[in-house]
Each structure stands twice: as structure tokens, then as C-alpha cells.
Structure 1
Amino acid sequence: MVNSSRSHIYPALDKSSSKIRLIHLQPRSRGDKITCRLCIADLNDDDLKYEALSYEWGEKDTSRIILVNGEEFPVRENLWWALTYLREDNAERVFWIDALCIDQSDERERNHQVSLMTQVYSRASRVVAWLGKDGQDDLMQVAKFIDILEEESELNDLVKDDEARGFLPHFLPSVGPRSTTAASFWSVPVNMLNGSAPRRLNEDDHRRGWEAWDNICHRSYWSRLWILQELILAGILVLRCGNVELDRESTHRIFDRTRTQRPPSSEPKPDRLAQDGLDYSSHSVIPLRIHQRRTRMFLNPDRPGNTFTTLVGQFLIYRKAQCADVRDRIFGLLGISPQCCRDNIPVDYGISTIDLALSVIAHDEFEHQSFRSGSFSSKLRADSYIKYLGCTNDAHRVIAAIEATDGPLWPPFGSPEEEQELWRRHDSSVVTFIQAGQLVLQFPERYTDQQNESMEIGMAGKEIVRDNMFVRHRSRSGFH
């Protein structure tokens, strides 16, 4: 009989500390049933070693039973399969897994532990991205594909080397000095390649490799909001499908190759954001975006806070990502937001959605003014914020909170439908810039008879009003 209350199996945590629980996954040799034990650990312990699991929770009504501290414990289907494949034959593995390590029935503990997730994932020795029990053939194909791509790359580097160019004419007299592609040098002696002949990929190999990667990228795992901080913060990241694991180097390489070598017709462009945020139906967009963020963060290890987009900015970019609790659209992005956002917006699952929305606005308007910057109108930004945070019934309160700091939001250019169409087009549909002491607004011809409207900016004036259009100047963030 499964005990409906889980609290009795959890060792108590000091909620004012950096203490967490870790799951010790017992080896298969202990029996067929998945067995774990929970232990308390301190994130400040320099000797602490554990892996963190990133996975998709899945449906509530699918559950299996494992043993935790000797008690039967229900887990969802996907986690059960992850534990089944991740446990070793004869050695235990130590993991941080949110569904097991946090007492989900204790709201105060949940608040505390979620606020530590930035440290949990950045401190882990590895983060394992569990993509599901299926897809092993695809991941194996990707591993082989990336290995051969690397061999081709190494050969290209070799033939471009000055010393290699000196050898090649002796073996390939017909090859001119400018023929430096890998395809020209397959008859290079094996001793020149440290004893191993290079493999090459033909067109079908490339197609199969990219198709396998596309299959991986189309898995529902990538639609989860929480994976953003889980993977971006990972020091070492590996991908796992069933028994097949793509190691750290190969994972980095396939992400990087997606950015640099995909056929132009299919290459995703995550930085060209549509009005509705990232297109979660487009292959590779989320994995590539995560890779770009990881790269940016690790290139600036001493300034991690400055490498992150504002919390509101990220909310707007990733607002189509999936999460069970709408408040996680905020809490799930705090770990990859600037430090000021983390300091001023505490994780609190007792707060109402509207109060959370207003709290975020109060901080953002003071520090960032995210609603009044970017490639589409502040009104559309506010509309998206209201819609995706589930505050439609309190829209007037959200708008009032934004306008209380900076005045009215940018009004529509004609009807709402025309405004939507205007900003749905290109980022440069409307260009605002400073020229010779003037604020110049350029409008597309189809929206106004006069394309360029100029307004003198007085040295003492901070606000200009023209035809009910407000343009406000702020010294910290330029014109809005």
C-alpha cells in the first residue's frame, strides 16, 4: 500500500541554509525494484559530488512505484524509465532530482529549494538531459555523424598547415596549392594521419545525420520551460536516450555544428524573433538558443549577471514554453536572469498570479524598462505579458502599474489589427533614431502618408506630446 503522505520519508531541511537532499540510486544488483535513499547535503561543501537530472515530468495519471528510504513512493512514468536506465550494475549513483529531492507538498520547502536551483545545476558535476527511453538509434546516429564530421574537420586543418602543404605535392602532384578541401586529399598516406585513415561523409550520410538530430530536437522535452536554466547553467552537459549517451564533447559539437554547418534552407535563426516569441515548432531552435546562451555565459565567467537578458525580456522570448504552473513562467527563468531580478523577486508559490505580475513590473520598471524597449511596441509587449501570465481578468491593473512609472504605453498605429500586422513584419518596420537633435520616427508608407515625422527636442524638455502620442526620454535607457 502506497502511503499518500510523503513528508515522513523526508529528512528535515534547514530552510535558511544551502542544504539540499540528494538521491542515492542503488545498483541493479540490489534487486529488480528501483531503490533509492535520501540524504542531506550542503551546496557549500567543496567535496560534494552529484549529477543533476533534467527531464520532462509527463502526465500525472501515469505512475510507477519505487522504494525511497524503504518506503513505496509513486513516480511518473518518464522518471521511472530514467531511473531504470541510469542505474549502474554494481555501483550507486548520486543525483539531484526535483520530484524526489523536494517535498512537493511543503510549500515553504518548495519555495526554498526552487530558489537554490541556480546553484544546484551550476554546482552539479554533470547535468544529464533525459530525452526519453526512445530515440536511441537517432542519438547513436548523431554520435557517429559528429565523430566523422570531426575527422573531416581535422583533415581540413591538416591540409591547411604549412608543413602538410609541403608534403602533399610529393604524393598528389596533380593537386594545386589552392586545393585545400578534404575531398581532394583522400589518398594522403595513413602515416600522415597518425596511423588512421579518415572517414568521409557522402550526401546521404549528411542527410541521415541531420535527420537523426532533427528527430532528437523534435522531442517534447525541448518544449519545457524549466530546461532553459537547467541546461544553460550546466557545467558539463550530456544528452541521454535510453542506454545511449552523447558525451560532453559530442553534445557541444552537435550544438555548434547546428549553428555553423546546417544547410542554409533549414538553418534555424533563433535571434530573429517573431512577434510571438521563439517558434517552438521549428526544429533545433531551442537547443541552439540554449547553446548560444551557454557559450555567452562561459565566455564571461566573471560577469554572469551581465550576460543575461532581463527577466521580462526572457519571459517574452520564451513565453510559448510549457509549464504546469503559470507562475513558473517567472520562477523558472530567475536562475538565468540578472542578479537584481533574483534579489527582488523571491520564489513564493503562495503569491497570486496577479500579485506576482505586479511585483515583476515594479522591479522591471525601476531597473530595466523592458516594456519600453525592443523590436515591437510596448503595448504589444504588455499584451503578451498579460496573456501568457494568465492575467487577462486583471489587465487594467497590469497596464496601470506599467504606466504609473513611465506614462501611457505606445498607442496603436490605427486599428489593433493594423498594429499587429505592422509589428509582425520586420524589426525595421519602424525605426527610431536620433539625428541632429531631433527624434526621427520612420513609418512604412502603407501606414502613413508622410513617412518621416520629426519633432524638435528641447534641451529642457523630457516629454513630447504630438497627436496624443507620448515619447518619453530617460537618461538611463534613451528614447522610448
Structure 2
Amino acid sequence: MSKSRRALDMSLSLYRSLPNNGDTFRLAELQPGREGDPVVLTLLPKLLSQGDDYEALSYVWSSAENEAKVLVNGMHVPIRRSLFEFFTVLRSSKQPRLLYADAICINQVDDKERTQQVRLMQDIYKNASKVLAWLGPGSPATDLLLRVAATTSAGDYSPNGSGENDGGTWRRPPEADDPSVWTSLQATLRLVLDQPYWRRAWIIQECLLARQLYFSLGTAQVSWDSFSSAHMMLLEKRPVARGYTWGYLYDTITRFDHLAGLKNRSHEFPIPLSGIVRRFSAAESTDPRDMIFAFSALVAELQPGHPGGLEVDYGLSTVSLYFRAGYASLISDSRPLPHRTLHGLRTMLRLTSLELLETVMALIDPDELLSAVSWLVGDWDPQSTPQGRTFRDERKHEGLAYIDCHVADFSTLVRLLNEKERAGR
């Protein structure tokens, strides 16, 4: 039996359908146990309106080739190693713990449920009593780092004599007063900041929406405020909003700087899709569609009532999502050079120019292509495909050479895609 077939059979036995009422989701109750015991979870339905008596988890899915088994409602279920490790750390020996982990709480093989639940994701993370972020197994070095972080605050920074922030100094905690320990702490911090966690697209929204955010390294845990202050102290940064940049300008700026900059500017969201594309094109996700959906709370075009009609929908192909997102962006964003947004969007969704072109050619008569779709321009080779139209050299026309990007063109394509989907039902 194939792996996909086993996953489908398991989901049918494990998950009961949830009502699509904009309020119902699942939680996983982690049962008590000791080291070496199986990890046991019970899935429970929950209403967002019932309160915040749960903690939401933020973690990297890690490789599917490195899985471990847990018991969910009495069934053996494979999960990614990173989540398994997090469960073993969070488990109490006496009391159950109510958690939200999307890999377990959402039926991942049911696109309809996945769509419904991802639309609720922002409310699930906003409503949680805490968001707990897993940075990986600990070590003596990371234990020391988090102990130092736990005793650090922005109040440990002293401005210079004139009262300006420039030229100020941090008060080092006693544990870090030894120069060799200080150097070791700096090296450990840099290793922590290089973890795959910081590259994951989903963590941006999860961290920004958290009422309380804690980072875990092994059994050690520290709050966002303390970790942020320790980060600034060890890398000798200033504890002011402008001390953090967006993080995409220089290789020397860490991804944590990027996240901290967003936390300081969280009041600016939601922002146009073009801003998301510009700031997060280097993020990573298992499903390329999540390069858009992972920012659902932050993207103006994904908010209810937007004229572009863009929604989280896992029934869409990646190509269809590209055209819908491009259309929603074009009708709402008055900024110049929309081709830069469209090129960045194509890159984020891991699409090639030819994949987009094939979709366009399937929707529009090739003989009318140049007049109907004005943003497809370039040198054509009429002998290269049976349809008679393709680029001679895509490298010369990077990003599909969108020169005009007329809204009407995307409007036509989205209308044709809608008609094609309705006909296929």
C-alpha cells in the first residue's frame, strides 16, 4: 500500500468532520508520562469562543524521512521528529497539557478541512494563552545562554553620558562577565539564530500574533522579551525600535532582527501583498502555496471583503493561486513597477515562466495570445512546441517579462480559470 493511501485510510479513522462555522477547531491533549513512555495524545473539539486554556506550538516540520510514532486516540500516527521531540519536552509526569499543533490538529490530507482551518489560524494563535516556539534539543551551552537571557532586560542598557542611545553599553550579568564565557555565548547565540526555524514562513505570523511568546531549547525556556534583550546585548545592539532593521538588506543582519523589526511594527499590518513578497521571498515552506497562505493575517488582499476575492483555498493549484494573487495585488496596490511584485510572487511560489505560459495558452487561443495578454512579451519561437508559441530564451525574459501587467489581463485570466473550475465540478 502506498504511503499516500495509508495516510488517507488513517485520516478517515482518526478525524471526524468539523463544522464549518468559523469557530470550531481541534486541540491535542498531551497525556502525562515519563521519559521513555510512548507519547499519547487525545484529539478534542474546541470552540474559539470557549476561551484560551491552551498553548499553541510553533515549530519546523523537518524532513518526512525522519519520523517518530505517537498514539493519537489509540492509533499509531507518524509525526515529524521535531514535533515528537517537542512533545517529549512539554509532557508532564502528572498533568495533561492542552496544545495546538497543526500537524496533528488538522486533517492534512483533506484539502477542504485544511482550507477551513488555515483560515482560522490567526484566531487560534491570537487566542492561545501562550505560543511556544521549539528551537531544538538543548545542550549545556544553550542552557547557559537561556539562563543569561532570562536575567536580561532592556533596562540593562545604559545610554551614553549625553542621554543618547548611541554609544551606550549593556550591563553584563555575572555569569557572562568572563571574556571567554562571553565569546562562547555569542557563538552559541549565532548557532541558535542559524536554526531552520527562523527560515520557516509560518513562524512570522505565529510569533507576531502571540500574546505571550516563549522559546524552548531542550527543557530550557525563555520569554520573547528576555531573548530579544539578550540577543541585543550579546550582539551589542541598541534597545530601540530603529535598532532593528527589516533584515533583508544585509547578510550580517540575522533573521531574528527581521522578526524583531516586524514585532515593533505589528501595528502596520495588514499590508499589501507586494510588501509581503518584498520582505519574505527568502522564507521557506513545505507547500509552496503556504508562501501566501502562511501570511493570511498580514496580507491586505487576504482580508474579508477585499475586492480581489483572494482567499486561503488549498483546492487551488499553485499556478491558479499565482494569477489570483497577482490580480488581487494589481487592483489594490497603486505602487509603480508591478512586474517586480509578479516576479517575486512567481519566485515565492516556485513557478517557472513556462508553467505560467502553459496555463495561459490552455485558456486563450494561441493566435490571440499576444493581443489578449499584453504582459507576455518577448522573442517567440513558433517551431518549438505543437501549440506554436514559447520563449526562445527564458533567461532573457526573467520573470516572464511582464512589461505592462494590465489589470484587465489578469481579470480575464481569473475569470477563465473560474469558468474552467466550475466546468470541472
Bucket of the pairwise TM-score, normalised by the shorter protein:
0.7 to 0.9
Measure the CA separation in 1 of the matches of 2:256 and 2:377: 34
> 1:33 aligned to 14, 34, 38, which one?
38
Amino acid at match of 1:317: R
Give 1:108-127 correspondences, 5 Å limit. Answer: 108-127=112-131
Query: Partners in 2 of 1:90 and 1:405 — Cα distance?
Result: 67
TM-score (norm 1): 0.65
Alignment partner of 1:322 is 2:296? no
Decide whether the 8 Å contact of 2:70 with 2:79 is kept in 1.
Answer: yes
Name the CA shift for 1:34/1:361 in 2 (closer, same or farther; >3 Å): same
Matched, 1:336 2:298: yes
After TM superposition, give the deviation of residue 364 of structure 1 in Å: 0.9
Task: Name the residue aligned to 1:352.
Answer: 317
1:61 equivalenced with 2:65 (yes/no): yes
Alignment deviations for residues 167-199 of structure 1 (CA, whole Å, 9 cap, x no partner): xxxxxxxxxxxxx9889xx9xxxxxxxxxx977
Count of residues in correspondence between the two structures: 364
Distance 1:111 1:404 in 2: 36
User: 1:229 touches 1:332 (CA, 8 Å); kept in 2?
Assistant: yes
Matched, 1:231 2:235: no
> Deviations 1:389-416 (Å, cap 9, x if unpaired)?
2142244578x99x999986999xxxx9
CA distance in 2, matches of 1:182, 1:112: 47
Code of the residue aligned with 1:271 in structure 2: it is W
Normalising by structure 2, report the TM-score.
0.72
Residues 257, 115 of structure 1: alpha-carbon distance in 2 compared, 3 angstrom cutoff: farther
Following the alignment from structure 1 to structure 2, what is the Cα–Cα distance between the partners of residues 113 and 380? 31
1:213 aligned partner: 189
Identity %: 23
Q: State the match for 1:271 in structure 2.
A: 246
Q: Partner of 1:57: helix, strand, or coil?
A: coil
Q: What residue identity is the alignment partner of 2:13? A: H
- Asked if residue 308 in structure 1 is aligned to residue 270 in structure 2, the reply is yes
Partner of 2:324, secondary structure, is helix
Q: Tell whether the 8 Å contact from 2:55 to 2:128 is kept in structure 1 after alignment.
A: yes
Question: What residue in structure 1 maps to residue 23 of structure 2?
Answer: 18
Q: Is the 8 A contact 2:149 2:229 kept in 1?
A: no
Which range moved further: 48-57 or 241-250? Answer: 241-250
**Structure 1 unaligned residues grouped into runs of 5+:** 162-179, 187-196, 301-305, 421-468, 473-480
Q: Can you list the C-alpha shifts for 1:255-307, whole angstroms capped at 9, x where unaligned?
A: 55578627xxxx99743745xxxx7xx4662212112212222xx4xxxxx43
| Change in CA separation of 1:137 and 1:13 when aligned onto 2, cut-off 3 Å | same
Which residue in the other structure is 2:87 paired with? 83
- Range that drifts further, 16-25 or 378-387: 378-387
| Mapped partners of 1:5, 1:312: distance in 2 | 40
More displaced stretch, 112-121 vs 10-19:
10-19
Structure-1 residue corresponding to 2:386: none
- Maintained 8 Å contact 1:226/1:332: yes
Asked if 2 retains the 8 angstrom alpha-carbon contact of 1:53 and 1:96, the reply is yes
Q: Is the 8 A contact 1:7 1:103 kept in 2?
A: no
Alignment of 1:241 onto 2:203? no
Q: Distance in 1 between matches of 2:36 and 2:181?
A: 42
1:366, distance to aligned residue in structure 2 (A): 1.0
**Residues 30, 60 of structure 1: alpha-carbon distance in 2 compared, 3 angstrom cutoff:** closer
Moved more, 333-342 or 112-121: 333-342
CA distance in 2, matches of 1:111, 1:9: 18
Determine if contact 1:258/1:288 at 8 Å carries over to the other structure.
no
**What is the distance in 1 between the residues matched to 2:185 and 2:330?**
46
**How is 1:121-200 mapped onto 2 (pairs within 5 angstroms)?**
121-135=125-139, 137-144=141-148, 147=151, 152-153=156-157, 156=158
Residue matched to 1:477: none
Secondary structure of residue in 1 paired with 2:28:
strand
